[in-house]
């Protein structure tokens, strides 16, 4: 549960989309006075703890030499010079230097780092790469600047071209606490050469945009493993964090299940929404994963489902460790984010021998029990640009943010990192982006078949509880029924406490 400084509970209780028009209306016409916590309107945005009122138009960069500190992830480390040049090319004043401060990689670790910085009221970094999972914790505490108060109507209107759920994920009680920077699109990358040598025809059967069923996927994986003697068939991250909130969640959604019934219930109302963890779809998904991992050696194996394709070592893997087996040529299929396509499709890696496919499915959407589930489903990933409310360089920081959210910069990020832009229209315009341009059809398909996890004050403890129970099951310490029942009880208890 998250409380603001007054002790009032804050939670997002509806799944309804906040329209861009509401964002613009909250800013008001240019010239309307707005109060900014911890900021003043000097040209460089010098910080102040006062309560001075100002307008979005007041926040102007005065042209002086200044360095804006941008806290980002190792993803951009080797590309800072190319990215900075793009920013200057789109009009960022050259008197503004940008210090790309590389921090930790991983949403949880980065959140811990920002917790320390923002709770202490430090003025730097000025600009931060943030994950939408931070919204329920940072926004109620006013640890991020409400961009409604510092961006023009025209800039806010640009959000209409972005994926709605990504924008919504950084909104809280009418405020906007981040501007989209990256859209994470998970896919399955695979060794097309090995699959073809095993007798399959991915191009002829259009695997790029026609998802396989999990049953067929398992058969292909096992046959290819046998043909080539690879150590692993299908690799993915399945440590405790991923078991409940990422990989395990994706498998469940493709099987027509969910934690809160229909997807429209994702964000609430908390305490007044169905909790469906003891559903047979959860049990069957755990049985599916146990079969993939242990085959017929598991007493809970699914009859007739090919198994033994997923290494038990995955139970200790997070995102980066999970890709090492595939990179070493020891696996046939691998689940990861968009950057993996650029990485493994490059010359010197697998090049043209890399195939990319959408997530397989367990049941079709029409046969799913809950609305919004079934079919190919992948968890939405999203990273945003957020402003430190204590920055002493607000004017210059806003200039950087505006330059970093241009189409040209989005495409440059796509080119140098393989991370997709948060505007679907730009994916269609990425023919010149090396490597990933071979797989745009798959990216476009999967981008339309993604789900967002709950974004509210209780999701963090809930996903931890689910991950713990799922992980215990996959470690064969609990039966699927026991794990599902225990998760159901804990999630219901959290719901009751919050409500």
- Per-residue model confidence (pLDDT) at position 47: 39
Note the Cα 411 to chain centre separation in Å: 18
- Per-residue model confidence (pLDDT) at position 56: 59
The Cα 487–Cα 499 span in angstroms is 18
Closest by CA position to 357, among listed 248, 239, 243, 234 = 234
DSSP code of 144?
Answer: S
Mean pLDDT of the chain: 88
Cβ atoms of 202 and 395 closer than 8 Å: no
The 8 Å CB, 24+ separation contacts for 476-481 are: 476/290, 476/294, 476/298, 479/300, 480/282, 480/283, 480/284, 480/286, 480/287, 480/290, 480/300, 481/283
Cβ atoms of 306 and 169 closer than 8 Å: no
Cβ atoms of 125 and 117 closer than 8 Å: yes
Question: 149 in helix, strand or coil?
Answer: helix
Cα angle value 32/22/72 (rounded, 5°) = 90
Residue ranges of the chain whose pLDDT lies below 50? 1-43, 45-53
- Per-residue model confidence (pLDDT) at position 78: 78
- Per-residue model confidence (pLDDT) at position 20: 37
The model's pLDDT over 301-330, given as tens digits with 9 standing for 90+, comes to 999 999 999 999 999 999 889 999 999 999
| Sign of the CA dihedral running 24, 26, 29, 31 | negative
- Per-residue model confidence (pLDDT) at position 408: 96
Calculate the CA dihedral of residues 203, 207, 209, 211 and round it to 10 degrees: 170
Could you tell me which residues are beta bridge partners of residue 378?
A: 450
The model's pLDDT over 255-308, given as tens digits with 9 standing for 90+, comes to 999 999 999 999 999 999 999 999 999 999 999 999 999 999 999 999 999 999
Question: 129 in helix, strand or coil?
Answer: strand
- Per-residue model confidence (pLDDT) at position 165: 84
Buried b (16+ CB within 10 A) or exposed e, 170-209: bbbeebbbbbbbbbbbbbbbbbbebbbebebebeeeebbe
Number of Cβ within 10 Å of residue 103's Cβ equals 17
Could you tell me which residues are beta bridge partners of residue 333?
A: 190, 234
Query: Between 80-89 and 407-417, two packed helices, what is the crossing angle to 10 degrees?
Result: 160
| Sign of the CA dihedral running 488, 490, 491, 496 | positive
């Amino acid at each position: 549960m998250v409380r603001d400084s007054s002790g009032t509970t804050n939670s997002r209780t509806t799944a309804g989309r906040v329209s861009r028009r509401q964002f613009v209306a909250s800013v008001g016409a240019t010239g309307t006075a707005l109060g900014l916590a911890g900021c003043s309107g000097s040209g460089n945005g010098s910080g102040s703890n006062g309560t001075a009122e100002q307008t979005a138009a007041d926040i102007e960069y005065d042209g002086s030499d200044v360095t804006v500190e941008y806290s980002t992830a190792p993803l951009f480390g080797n590309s800072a010079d190319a990215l900075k040049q793009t920013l200057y090319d789109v009009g960022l004043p050259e008197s503004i230097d940008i210090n790309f401060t590389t921090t930790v990689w991983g949403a949880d670790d980065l959140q811990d780092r920002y917790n320390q910085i923002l709770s202490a009221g430090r003025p730097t970094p000025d600009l931060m790469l943030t994950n939408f999972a931070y919204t329920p914790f940072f926004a109620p505490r006013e640890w991020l600047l409400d961009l409604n108060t510092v961006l023009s109507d025209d800039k806010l209107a640009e959000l209409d071209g972005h994926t709605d759920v990504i924008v919504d994920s950084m909104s809280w009680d009418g405020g906007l606490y981040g501007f989209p920077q990256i859209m994470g699109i998970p896919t399955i990358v695979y060794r097309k050469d090995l699959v073809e040598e095993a007798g399959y025809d991915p191009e002829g059967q259009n695997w790029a945009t026609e998802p396989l069923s999990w049953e067929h996927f398992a058969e292909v994986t096992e046959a290819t493993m046998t043909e080539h003697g690879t150590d692993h068939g299908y690799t993915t991250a399945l440590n405790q964090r991923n078991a409940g909130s990422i990989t395990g969640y994706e498998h469940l959604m493709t099987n027509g299940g969910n934690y809160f019934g229909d997807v429209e219930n994702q964000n609430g109302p908390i305490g007044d929404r169905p909790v469906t963890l003891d559903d047979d779809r959860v049990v069957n998904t755990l049985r599916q994963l146990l079969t993939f991992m242990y085959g017929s050696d598991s007493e809970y194996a699914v009859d007739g489902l090919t198994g033994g394709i997923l290494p038990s070592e995955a139970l200790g893997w997070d995102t980066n460790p999970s890709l090492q087996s595939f990179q070493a040529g020891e696996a046939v299929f691998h689940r990861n984010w968009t950057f993996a396509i650029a990485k493994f499709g490059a010359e010197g890696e697998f090049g043209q021998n890399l195939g990319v496919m959408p997530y397989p499915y367990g049941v079709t959407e029409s046969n799913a029990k809950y609305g919004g589930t079934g079919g190919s489903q992948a968890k939405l990933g999203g990273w945003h640009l957020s402003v430190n409310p204590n920055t002493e360089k607000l004017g210059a920081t806003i200039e950087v943010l505006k330059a970093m959210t241009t189409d040209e910069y989005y495409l440059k990020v796509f080119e140098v990192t393989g991370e997709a832009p948060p505007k679907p229209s730009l994916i269609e315009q990425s023919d010149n982006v090396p490597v990933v341009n071979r797989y745009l059809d798959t990216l476009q398909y999967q981008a339309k078949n993604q789900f967002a996890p709950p974004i509210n004050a209780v999701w963090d403890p809930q996903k931890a509880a689910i991950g713990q129970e799922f992980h215990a099951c996959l470690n064969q310490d609990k039966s699927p029924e026991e794990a599902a029942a225990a998760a159901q009880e804990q999630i219901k208890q959290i719901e009751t406490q919050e409500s």
